[in-house]
Amino acid sequence: MAFIVIEDGESIESALRRFKRKVQQQAIIKDIKKHSIYYKPGEKKRMKAAQARKRMRRRMKRDRDIEY
Protein backbone atom coordinates (compact mmCIF):
# COMPACT_ATOMS: atom_id res chain seq x y z
CA MET A 1 0.00 0.00 0.00
CA ALA A 2 1.28 3.44 -0.90
CA PHE A 3 1.85 6.00 1.82
CA ILE A 4 3.86 9.14 2.27
CA VAL A 5 5.13 11.07 5.28
CA ILE A 6 4.18 14.73 5.22
CA GLU A 7 7.16 16.93 6.01
CA ASP A 8 6.96 19.97 8.32
CA GLY A 9 5.82 23.03 6.39
CA GLU A 10 4.85 20.99 3.29
CA SER A 11 1.65 22.03 1.59
CA ILE A 12 -1.22 19.61 1.14
CA GLU A 13 -1.04 20.08 -2.64
CA SER A 14 2.59 18.98 -2.87
CA ALA A 15 1.97 16.03 -0.55
CA LEU A 16 -1.02 14.99 -2.67
CA ARG A 17 1.12 15.27 -5.81
CA ARG A 18 3.79 13.02 -4.26
CA PHE A 19 1.12 10.53 -3.18
CA LYS A 20 -0.43 10.41 -6.66
CA ARG A 21 3.00 9.87 -8.23
CA LYS A 22 3.74 7.02 -5.81
CA VAL A 23 0.38 5.36 -6.50
CA GLN A 24 1.00 5.62 -10.23
CA GLN A 25 4.51 4.15 -9.93
CA GLN A 26 3.21 1.18 -7.97
CA ALA A 27 0.43 0.59 -10.58
CA ILE A 28 -2.25 0.39 -7.91
CA ILE A 29 -4.97 1.97 -10.07
CA LYS A 30 -4.25 -0.40 -12.95
CA ASP A 31 -4.51 -3.38 -10.60
CA ILE A 32 -7.81 -2.15 -9.15
CA LYS A 33 -9.30 -1.71 -12.62
CA LYS A 34 -8.07 -5.16 -13.61
CA HIS A 35 -9.82 -6.80 -10.64
CA SER A 36 -13.00 -4.70 -10.78
CA ILE A 37 -14.59 -6.93 -13.45
CA TYR A 38 -14.91 -10.71 -13.19
CA TYR A 39 -14.16 -12.63 -16.35
CA LYS A 40 -14.99 -16.29 -16.68
CA PRO A 41 -11.96 -18.52 -17.23
CA GLY A 42 -12.96 -19.29 -20.82
CA GLU A 43 -13.45 -15.60 -21.53
CA LYS A 44 -9.97 -14.83 -20.13
CA LYS A 45 -8.51 -17.52 -22.38
CA ARG A 46 -10.24 -16.07 -25.46
CA MET A 47 -9.08 -12.54 -24.62
CA LYS A 48 -5.51 -13.74 -24.09
CA ALA A 49 -5.55 -15.57 -27.43
CA ALA A 50 -6.96 -12.49 -29.18
CA GLN A 51 -4.20 -10.32 -27.70
CA ALA A 52 -1.59 -12.84 -28.86
CA ARG A 53 -3.03 -12.78 -32.41
CA LYS A 54 -3.01 -8.98 -32.36
CA ARG A 55 0.63 -8.89 -31.22
CA MET A 56 1.59 -11.41 -33.90
CA ARG A 57 -0.15 -9.43 -36.66
CA ARG A 58 1.59 -6.26 -35.51
CA ARG A 59 4.97 -8.03 -35.43
CA MET A 60 4.43 -9.58 -38.88
CA LYS A 61 3.44 -6.21 -40.35
CA ARG A 62 6.49 -4.52 -38.83
CA ASP A 63 8.81 -7.26 -40.13
CA ARG A 64 7.24 -7.05 -43.59
CA ASP A 65 7.75 -3.26 -43.66
CA ILE A 66 11.39 -3.61 -42.63
CA GLU A 67 12.18 -6.06 -45.45
CA TYR A 68 11.16 -3.60 -48.17
| 3-state SS string for the chain | CCCCCCCCCCCHHHHHHHHHHHHHHCCHHHHHHHHCCCCCHHHHHHHHHHHHHHHHHHHHHHHHHHHC
In this structure, the answer to whether residues 58 and 26 fall within a common structural domain is no
The total domain count for the chain is: 2
In this structure, the answer to whether residues 15 and 42 fall within a common structural domain is no
Confidence of residue 49 (pLDDT cuts 50, 70, 90): very high
> Which residue range(s) make up the domain with 3?
1-37
In this structure, the answer to whether residues 4 and 20 fall within a common structural domain is yes
The mean pLDDT value for 35-45 works out to 93
In this structure, the answer to whether residues 32 and 42 fall within a common structural domain is no
Measured between alpha carbons, how far is 16 from 23 in angstroms, rounded to an integer?
Answer: 10
In this structure, the answer to whether residues 43 and 24 fall within a common structural domain is no
In this structure, the answer to whether residues 47 and 30 fall within a common structural domain is no
Confidence of residue 68 (pLDDT cuts 50, 70, 90): low
In this structure, the answer to whether residues 64 and 46 fall within a common structural domain is yes
